Amino acid sequence: MFAARSYQLFINGKWRAGSEGVTLPVTNPATEKTVASVAAASASDLDEALASAERSRKAWSSGPAKERGEILVAAARILAAKVPAAAKDLAAEQGKTIAEAAGEYARAVETLDWNGTHAEELSAAIPMGPNRMIVPEPLGVVAAFTPWNYPAVLIARKLAPALAAGCPVILKGAEETPSVAVHIVEALREAGLPEGVVNLVFGVPAQISRHLLNSPIVKVLTFTGSTAVGKELAKLAATNLQRCILELGGHSPVVVCEDADLTKAVPAIAEYKFECAGQSCNAPSRILVARPLYQEFLSRMTETARKINIGAPDDPATQMGPMANARRIEAMQRLTKDATDRGARIETGGARLEQPGFYWPPTILTGVPKEAKVLQEEPFGPILTVAPFDTIEEAIEEANATEYGLAAYFFTASADAKRELIGGLAAGAVSVNYLKGVSADAPYGGVKQSGYGYEGGEHGVRSFQNLKLVNGLGSFG
Ligand code: NAD
């Protein structure tokens, strides 16, 4: 059934093939078989998308924000009804379980709804005393680039606030998981989004980003992906000084203090780490454990990891599916070999499963020397390192010893330790005694090489606005 699928571009309000007829294959990571194809946009398709977005801009940006919000809320309802089928498509293209895919879609629905509900209030003028006010204005056409790991929620976190703010969007969906962008854009179309306000393209990522960012029509760049690609895009955006929101890599630490409750910490870490086979920018990847708890933590964590049921995404018994593509398996092999060559020990996992599909088991490494690549490079997979520490200061130093600064987590009951860790951990977000990622209503962004700008909540909408300061209101009488 999937072999028959062919996903198209959406330009100027119409689904259509690329003008040069080029398509790219879509692979099911559980079988390594082609399950669909996706149209690739040519330069002329991209020019059409740019022109179409620009034509729609005036009416969309100057129309009532309340109506924009109503379209988003309606799209949320329409998408919610598509979730059972859409989650199966996502699982077949990405490798996450159907339950994980449905959970992700639920968060995408919530994101559309939140931004729709708040569109009017976040587009309203903000008084600043008797003489001044801020008038939020949409910045203009947005180029949005989204990856394959959480395609539904990451598309929603770009599209929904940009649309709420009054900006048209040219969205490049991930070629690996095209069904997701298609389902979300179709929900918006069915909800009554005017033509041209969202254009969806796929193709060769570097060609598309270069073409779009080269155009002065584009005023904002929003990207989620690796730090290396984010920096390339920021350089391209410099030519036209497009505003950038870059949500890049992460290498998140978890500090498990001496008083931590392991009955809570171990399952919470395992659940968050191994969701989506660890391919999440804010998944924990380096666990630092107070020395008195170290052995007990390691044996519980290893036992929990070994029990995780690995299998096909559409098998309800599966707890962790395959990795998304062969590149991730190669990265797991390279990082594991580098660590063991330098003396690290594999507590569990450590080798690809001998079966079709990109299956890599939960892997725990100990005794990993500081120079090992797995402690520096974002693993983006189900590999955890575990190491002991002696003082909170030492744990903070270790936790901060990567170039990334996206998320950090810790477990303790002590108010002093909480204060010290919240202040000391260099991260865009810190979670205490549980692991939590993004939510529709709160800002989320990285520091250091994890990027800049915010997605989520009010700040997510403000990212697409010019906050025009109006002075001297009193002088108008
Ligand atoms: P990649 O960096 O090549 O691609 C990541 C995403 O960026 C993909 O969706 C891709 O289509 C897009 N992309 C790549 N080059 C682009 C360009 N020049 N212009 C526009 N978009 C471009 O890497 P990959 O092999 O697909 O994924 C591996 C790495 O990417 C991971 O190690 C991780 O660091 C990073 N990644 C991060 C996130 C995240 O949520 N922050 C998501 C996916 C991938």
* Ligand 1 centre distance from Cα of residue 22 (Å): 22
pLDDT band for position 233 (cuts 50, 70, 90): very high
Active-site residue flag, 247: yes
User: Class assignment of domain 252-432?
Assistant: alpha beta
Which pLDDT score, from 0 to 100, does residue 142 have? 99
Per-residue burial over 229-259, b = 16 or more CB atoms within 10 Å of its CB, e = otherwise: bbebbbebbeeeebbbbbbbbbbbbbbbbee
What is the pLDDT averaged over residues 118-129?
Answer: 97
Phi then psi dihedrals of residue 198, to 5 deg: -125, 130
Q: Ligand 1 mean position to 231 CA, how many Å?
A: 12
Q: How far is the CA of 399 from the centre of ligand 1 (A)?
A: 24
Best probe residue, ligand 1, of 176, 229, 252 (max atoms within 8 Å of C-beta): 229
**Span(s) in the chain for CATH 3.40.309.10:** 252-432
Q: Which residues contact 177 (CB under 8 A, 6 or more apart)?
A: 26, 90, 93, 94, 148, 151
| Atom 5 of ligand 1, nearest CA residue | 225
Residue 473's pLDDT is what?
81
Distance 147 CA to ligand 1 centre (A): 6
CA of 323 to the centre of ligand 1 (A): 14
Instruction: Please state, for a pLDDT cut of 70, what percent of the chain lies above it.
Output: 99
Over range 51-70, report the average pLDDT.
98
- Of 394, 348, 391, 351, the closest CA to residue 370 belongs to 394
User: Taking CB atoms and a 6 Å cutoff, what residues make up the pocket around ligand 1?
Assistant: 145, 147-149, 174, 205-206, 209, 224-226, 229, 232-233, 247-249, 281, 327, 378, 380
Sign for the pseudo-dihedral over CA of 143, 147, 152, 157:
negative
pLDDT at 3: 45
348 DSSP β-pair partners = 364
Ligand 1, atom nearest to 226 Cα? 35
What the block records as the tokens of 46 is 């991209």
Q: What does the buried/exposed string (b/e) look like for 140-178 if buried means 16 or more CB atoms within 10 Å of the residue's CB?
A: bbbbbbbbbbbbbbbbbbbbbbbbbbbbbbbbbbbbbbb
Q: For the domain 5-248+450-469, what is the CATH code? A: 3.40.605.10
Report how far ligand 1's centroid is from the alpha carbon of 148 (Å): 8
C-alpha separations of 2 from 17, 86, 92, 154, 388 in Å? 18, 12, 9, 24, 48
Contacts made by residues 459-463, CB under 8 angstroms, sequence distance 24+: 460/115, 460/157, 460/161, 461/115, 461/118, 461/119, 461/122, 461/161, 461/164, 461/165, 462/122, 462/136, 462/165, 463/161, 463/220, 463/222, 463/243, 463/245
Predicted pLDDT at 2: 41
| Nearest CA residue ID for atom 28, ligand 1 | 226
Rounded to whole angstroms, the Cα distance separating 238 from 223 reads 15
**pLDDT at site 447:** 98
- Catalytic pick from 100, 247, 275, 377? 247
Within the chain, all domains assigned CATH 3.40.605.10 are found at 5-248+450-469
- Catalytic-labelled residue, pool 48, 244, 281, 377: 281
DSSP 433: S
Which residue owns the Cα nearest ligand 1 atom 40?
281
**pLDDT computed for residue 474 by the predictor:** 75
Q: What is the pLDDT of residue 254?
A: 98
Report the pLDDT averaged over residues 220-248: 98
Nearest CA to ligand 1 atom 23: 226
| Two tokens, residue 113 | 């709804």
Place of tokens 């108010």: 415
Residue 477 has a pLDDT of 46
**Residue 281 annotated among the catalytic residues of the structure:** yes
Average pLDDT rounded to a whole number, residues 93-112: 98
Please report which confidence band the pLDDT of residue 93 belongs to, taking 50, 70 and 90 as the band edges: very high
Question: What does the pLDDT read at residue 62?
Answer: 97
Confidence of residue 226 (pLDDT cuts 50, 70, 90): very high
pLDDT level of residue 4 (50, 70, 90 thresholds): low
Question: What average pLDDT does the chain have?
Answer: 97
